[in-house]
Amino acid sequence: MSRIIAVIVFFAACSAQAGDEPKQPVAPGFESPGYVWNEMRGEKLLALQAKGDPLRGEIAFEVCQGCHGLEALGEVDGTYPRLAGQHASVLIKQLADVRAGIRDNRKMYPFAEEHVVTTQELADIASYLSALPVPEEHGIGPGTDLERGRSLYARDCIECHGPAGEGDPANFYPRVAGQHYLYLLRQMHDIRGGKRRNANPEMWEVSKDYRDEDIQVVIDYMSRFPAM
């Protein structure tokens, strides 16, 4: 029965996208004075405090499978990120930011808004996804200048994302190990350009002077971290 309900919700959201789609709100983000990228309040705080149930999360995630895949492995072409194995805290933050309108994602919003997914289900979905196995195979870069990529990563990225791309769940730094190259590439371009409004300002500060080729080689290097 749960799968039938999920399918109904999925097609209802698709129908909404084609016509009367729920309009994503817009909340102050990176562009606003006083913005705190990891502020702990509101729904984000409630979901982080909730005890996630992976069994309930598996059911709630069914409405997301149309884009993210049955095993949440995303797409090699970078259209959708790999969510399997990501830190629960990172997943909650990103979902809550989409719902609040701090991270702009009009395509995702109809599937993630509060009438489809509850606050408790944010915690449940995050608990389910964080425990999923992560296969080694994923999209990687061309390998053109990995030594320069390694140097840039060691200088600018390792403090937050860790020596093996493991991230830091306590500080909302995502695990980048095992993530698709083209997705990481797109996100870093968006952060450098100020397009990703829920970005960490420190990451924008680091990347704002990067040339396109700098972004390419450091992301190429990151994409080669073994999945965890």
**Residue 173 bridge partners (DSSP):** 168
Sign of CA dihedral 183, 188, 194, 200: positive
Residue 85, pLDDT > 70, answer: yes
At 1-26, the pLDDT tens digits run: 444 444 444 444 454 444 577 999 99
Size of the chain, expressed as the number of residues it contains: 228
C-alpha count within 13 angstroms, C-beta hemisphere, residue 76: 7
Report pTM: 0.91
- Look at residue 6 in the predicted model and tell me its pLDDT: 46
- Look at residue 19 in the predicted model and tell me its pLDDT: 54
Give the mean model confidence (pLDDT) for residues 149-163.
98
- Look at residue 5 in the predicted model and tell me its pLDDT: 42
At 115-124, the pLDDT tens digits run: 999 999 999 9
Residue 66 in tokens = 């149309």
At 91-123, the pLDDT tens digits run: 999 999 999 999 999 999 999 999 999 999 999
At 197-213, the pLDDT tens digits run: 999 999 999 999 999 99
Residue 203 in tokens = 């990451």
Residue 50, pLDDT > 50, answer: yes
Domains of the chain: 2-130 (1.10.760.10), 146-223 (1.10.760.10)
For residue 36, CA distances in Å to 30, 33, 41, 48 come to: 8, 9, 11, 17
- Rounded to the nearest integer, the mean pLDDT of the chain is 93
- Look at residue 11 in the predicted model and tell me its pLDDT: 45
d(CA 102, CA 112): 14
CA dihedral 17→22→26→30, nearest 10 degrees, is -40
- CA-based angle 12:18:21, to the nearest 5? 65
User: Residue ranges of the alpha helices (H) in 79-211?
Assistant: 88-100, 109-112, 119-130, 146-156, 158-161, 181-192, 201-207
Residue 88, pLDDT > 60, answer: yes
95 φ/ψ angles, rounded to the nearest 5 degrees: -65, -45
Give the mean model confidence (pLDDT) for residues 73-78.
97
Rg (CA), the chain: 17
d(CA 24, CA 198): 15
Give the mean model confidence (pLDDT) for residues 56-71.
97
- Look at residue 17 in the predicted model and tell me its pLDDT: 45
Residue 221 in tokens = 């290097």
